[in-house]
Amino acid sequence: MKRLFIILVFSFILAVSSFAQEGMWLLSQLDQLDLNKKGLQIETSDIYNKDKPSLSNAIVILDGGTASFVSSEGLLITNHHVAFTALQRAATKDNDLITNGFLAKNRSDEITAQGYQAQLLVDMKDVTNEVLDAGKNISDITEKENAITKKIIEMTDAISKNKEDITANIAEMYNGKQYILFVYKTFKDVRLVYSPPLSIGEFGGETDNWMWPRHTGDFSFLRVYAAPDGTGKEYSPDNVPYKPKVWLKVAKDGLKEGDFTFILGYPGTTTRYRTSNSVDWNQNVNYPFSIKNFREIIDLSLNLTKNDNEGRIKVSSLVKGLSNGMKNYEGKVAGMKKTNFLQKKKDFEKEFSSWVNKDQGRVSKYGDIFKIDDELYGNLAKTKDRDLVFGIFQGLASTQLGIAMRIYGIKYQLEKPESERLPGFTEKGLQETFNNLEYAYANYFEPVDKALLVRALKMANELPQDQRIKGLEYVFNDKSKTIEQFVDDAFNTSKLKDVEYTKGMVKLSVKELEALNDPFIKMVASMNPENNEIQMNGLVFNAKVTDLRKRYIDGLFEWKGTGMYPDANRTLRFTSGNIKGYSPADGVMYSPFTTLKGVIQKNTGEEPFNVPDKLTELYNKKDYGRWEDPNLKDVPVAFTHQCDITGGNSGSPVMNAKGELIGLAFDGNYEAMISDWQYDYDLQRVISVDIRYVLFVTEKFSNAGFILNEMGLSHPN
């Protein structure tokens, strides 16, 4: 019991003085971490400084991942899988950039990364008091949360208004205990510079995904462009490479086990302070449904494109994303069950309740938390079958339906008086939908889209009587045609496959949209009452559970002290730890490094283990150049280390004790997939591609030494 208690304390209520490896820390918390005692050789002010340039000024949000500047000419480095969608959107059946890779031999050859934007943090400040004041005199929890949301929108819109390259976000920390304003400069002209072929950038594919040992060259280079005056404008031939204040320098020294490392990046979401009800819901409802759903869509997409190269390219980004998510969820469920995580959460909550019940003041503040939490999740379960299936219609039941639902939904809300609108529906959101419409069609392949809609309708038709989606009954009640025939007719009749036509819909009113008599608009309009009901239920649930989680966090602070990091929420974070292997099972010990030798040993000649001939030739000749590790006697490919990351960190720079670039984070290890819920000191590792492999492939394999020259790595004489 004593060991269990210690594990729980480290898992949920981290003391700052304990393992620095755990935690995705706010940059304002760096001085609390005693980093110099742990191995950092620079000052924390060199990492983040509000008043002068620091390493944090080199880090950007890029698509769903993170990237960093590595030259004075706006050159970015990130993961291959972060740049993958840009490759997919630019690829054609006659020019398969996904398989073959891409190299711009000069600036004029660089191609637009369609739909990509880079966001650079320019300001950050605590605005907790201002935000909370908006709801301080409101007793109803839902109304209070709505008032806070509206205040946040008002504050962020005031900052970005009439500024085409400035965006703002107010992020909630500790479930509403703290609010921090983040202001970003947004660059809308991002171009591809170099991506290795798939046989390097995605070597091992889904077989090796989340696994160690790993041999993937998961990297790509892009470039940020701006207008001559520095404004982050859309693509223009007049734009010039952006000149960042700070860019990362590549480490001159090699790596060894035990070396200190740190990461700056934008992790997505973690859930480390959730209750056992949330664990139960995800372990037994949400994750299993998503796993089954993703697997079926992947199989459907692959089967319908196996003999069609154009179709394969079109659905590749969808398949890749779903495959990654599916394996992630599978690992989470397996990890939860293997570690008996749900029961550990319940035991922890008993400890908390015991502490609460020893003081009447604490009882009045925290005594009803778990009772209310039970009720909230009980209500959620009543319509779970309908709600989960309904969610498919919002993005995974054909492109046209998803677009129709987005446009109609925003228009419907905007035509209401502002006081009656659901939070988050704005003219700005409508404009963003308009701007991004062409990218929504990038994955469009009609045979797959049709099959997705047929599948979703059949799932809806199988729902139990008390959880039917009433807005779809007109489809099922029409006995003159099958679901397949209904879908064929919808695709033959609708004009929503035409991007320009769809853009014109954005200007129409709800009545005008309905008058188009488009089958997808008709379906969305018919489903709209239930869509509103589900959205309202979600708002009520989120408002109440957020208030509850805030009180829970307050209790945890009171119980265990203030040494806690907030859950990740796509804001800039710091994590650190040492290079270290691990033991995944009894009698098994993994080294923290892999090498080019391992790449060659895995070669089968077929995807996903098809090693390019030139890479094999370089290995056989031992033509490693300056990238050979003197201890390994080989080119290092990847390494594992004890940092703490999650989705969104992909592409984050890994730095050594001197703040120099040593690699790119691209994965976690399968044995610790539960990491979004708890940190495991013994098992959790970050998998990063070694910068020496990145540079070896770039210089020796692709003859792109000019990229290294730009990074200040000209070959020594």
Handedness of CA 142, 147, 153, 155 (dihedral sign): negative
> Token pair for residue 601?
């040993």
Which pLDDT score, from 0 to 100, does residue 11 have? 38
User: Do 323 and 471 fall into the same domain?
Assistant: yes
Residue 165 CB partners (closer than 8 Å, separation 6+): 185, 186, 187, 188, 231, 232, 233
Domain membership of residue 176 (yes or no) is: no
How is 116-165 classified by DSSP, letter by letter? --EEEEEEEEE-HHHHHHTTTT--SHHHHHHHHHHHHHHHHHHHHTT-TT
> What pLDDT band is residue 279 in, cutting at 50, 70 and 90?
very high
Q: Taking a C-beta distance cutoff of 8 angstroms, is the pair 545, 373 a contact?
A: yes
Query: Is the model's pLDDT at 717 over the cut of 70?
Result: no
Domain that holds residue 651: 2-117+188-271+567-710
Which pLDDT score, from 0 to 100, does residue 698 have? 98
Q: Residue 122 and residue 245: Cα distance in Å, rounded?
A: 11
Domain membership of residue 147 (yes or no) is: no
Number of folded domains that form the chain:
2
Q: Return the active site residues.
A: 81, 218, 650
For the question of whether the overall pTM of this predicted structure is more than 0.85, the answer is yes
pLDDT tens digits, one per residue of 71-112:
999 999 999 999 999 999 999 999 999 999 999 999 999 999
User: Do 262 and 376 fall into the same domain?
Assistant: no
User: Do 494 and 619 fall into the same domain?
Assistant: no
User: Do 427 and 389 fall into the same domain?
Assistant: yes
Domain membership of residue 14 (yes or no) is: yes
User: Do 550 and 575 fall into the same domain?
Assistant: no
**Cα torsion for 466, 470, 472, 477, to the nearest 10°?**
80
Residue 297 CB partners (closer than 8 Å, separation 6+): 318, 322, 396, 452, 455
Query: Is the model's pLDDT at 3 over the cut of 70?
Result: no
- The whole-chain average pLDDT of the chain stands at 94
User: Do 456 and 365 fall into the same domain?
Assistant: yes
Domain membership of residue 166 (yes or no) is: no
Domain membership of residue 92 (yes or no) is: yes
Mean pLDDT of 289-315: 96
pLDDT tens digits, one per residue of 372-406:
999 999 999 999 999 999 999 999 999 999 999 99
Using alpha carbons only, how large is the chain's radius of gyration in Å? 26
User: Do 494 and 419 fall into the same domain?
Assistant: yes
Mean pLDDT of 581-604: 97
Q: Taking a C-beta distance cutoff of 8 angstroms, is the pair 545, 553 a contact?
A: no
User: Do 656 and 613 fall into the same domain?
Assistant: yes
User: Do 364 and 418 fall into the same domain?
Assistant: yes
Q: Residue 282 and residue 384: Cα distance in Å, rounded?
A: 12
Which pLDDT score, from 0 to 100, does residue 535 have? 93
Domain membership of residue 437 (yes or no) is: yes
Q: Residue 576 and residue 23: Cα distance in Å, rounded?
A: 8
Q: Residue 657 and residue 259: Cα distance in Å, rounded?
A: 8
User: Do 309 and 358 fall into the same domain?
Assistant: yes
In b/e form, how buried is each residue of 21-60, taking b as 16+ CB within 10 angstroms?
bbbbbbbebbeebebeebbbebebebbbeeeeebbbbbbb
What does each C-alpha distance from 220 to 424, 473, 689 come to in angstroms? Answer: 34, 48, 11
Peptide bond into 237 cis (omega under 30): no
Which pLDDT score, from 0 to 100, does residue 716 have? 63
Give the CATH number, domain containing residue 30: 2.40.10.120
Last residue of a domain, one of 557, 583, 613: 557
Q: Residue 698 and residue 91: Cα distance in Å, rounded?
A: 21
| CA angle at 563 for the pair 335 and 550, rounded to the nearest 5° | 75
Last residue of a domain, one of 557, 589, 610: 557
User: Do 383 and 515 fall into the same domain?
Assistant: yes
User: Do 672 and 535 fall into the same domain?
Assistant: no
Cα 52 from chain centroid (whole Å) = 29
Q: Residue 665 and residue 670: Cα distance in Å, rounded?
A: 15
